[in-house]
Amino acid sequence: MVRVVRATQVEIDTAVQALRNGELVAFPTETVYGLGANAQNPAAVAKIFEVKGRPPSHPLIVHLDSPRFLHRWVREVPQVATRLAEAFWPGPLTMVLPRAGNVHDVITGGQDTIAIRVPAHPMAQQLLTAFGGGIAAPSANRFGRLSPTRAEHVREELGEAVRVLLDGGECQVGLESTIVCFEGESVRLLRPGGVTAAQIRALVGELFSGPAGAAPRVPGSGPTHYAPTTPMTIVPAGEIDAQADAASVGARRVAVLAQRLPLRAHKYATWINAGRRPESYGRDLYNNLRTLDKAGCAHILVQAVPDLEAWDAIRDRLVKAATAVAGADDGTGTRAVLP
């Protein structure tokens, strides 16, 4: 797909006016497409939750065109956060910081923190600079479903609910941003993403991982998310062919997302070889899952990805997707990945 990096002035002016009128605008970032509203307009931000079906307790990320506007949203910035901003902004890193007094609860989910990101996509930068303020924006999809990495994904998911859709081509990272929070000058990784743990560790030294007792709620932190509608199971790498055969007994159609071609022909399998490079696998992940979700199959089988740090963000998304759509409720309100 051709990458469109800049919008016309008419498109930007239309999007800016929509934001100022309290309407929603979908726009590309390097991670996924965002569903944006004027972050200083609580009524407009509330529309995001309505359109997505998103619980109000889930905080949003505020997007800025530059760190120079942090003081409008954040009351204090640790030195280590400044170092991260200098290294990774603009880019796929979200930082959770103490919120300023003027920030509305609708953005933060009632917490005393706010999530901030400076996206790198040129079209997102165009929009943010022209708008001259913060844009609150989660992914432009129904809550819990596959994130959109192309403009057509947004149209499929949200239709006429979005006043303006800026088409910036395919997202180049394809997975949601890395999220970190701070405990003094210590850094905690809350969601893996396009900036890897190794990159952060190289800059800050020790890096804590996973939520702690005092860690804030952040987007995508629930046990289920990023899911297709077709039941999905993660299977060991060496068993993908055998599992495809077993799942297609009785002429049932099965979809497969693997890192290689099949070892033999599978008559009833729709098979995607996503390759062995984490960068391209992650970029194409949601589009590949959407393709398999539309294939009319009874089940999606996903070959387990390597247990390496470079695959952490991909593994996180796959596990949450499988948990969301696989298995039956055990009576406790939880679902487990099928063996």
| pLDDT reading at 213 higher than 70 | no
pLDDT in tens, 123-146: 999 999 999 999 999 999 999 999
Contacts of 50 (CB under 8 A, 6+ apart): none
Looking at the structure, give the CATH architecture of the domain made up of residues 232-325.
3-Layer(aba) Sandwich (3.40)
| pLDDT reading at 238 higher than 60 | yes
Tell me which amino acid residue 58 is.
Answer: H
The token pair at 294 is 């539309």
Q: Are 229 and 325 in contact (CB under 8 A)?
A: yes
| Structural element, H or E, at residue 273 | strand 269-273
Q: Could you check whether 9-209 and 232-325 share the same CATH topology?
A: no
Greatest Cα pair distance, the chain, in angstroms, is 62
Q: What is the reported pLDDT for 328?
A: 37
The mean pLDDT of 111-122, rounded to a whole number, is 97
pLDDT in tens, 4-39: 778 999 999 999 999 999 999 999 999 999 999 999
Q: What is the reported pLDDT for 3?
A: 64
Provide the β-strand partners of residue 63. 117, 135
Domain ranges of the chain: 9-209, 232-325
CA gap 83, 86 in Å, rounded? 5
CA gap 262, 240 in Å, rounded? 8
Mean pLDDT computed over every residue of the chain:
91
Sign of the dihedral through C-alpha 120, 125, 127, 133: positive
CATH class of residue range 9-209: alpha beta
Number of helices (H), then strands (E), in the chain:
10, 14
| pLDDT reading at 101 higher than 70 | yes
DSSP string, 86-141: HHH-SSSEEEEEEBPTT--HHHHTT-SEEEEE----HHHHHHHHHHTS-EE--BSS
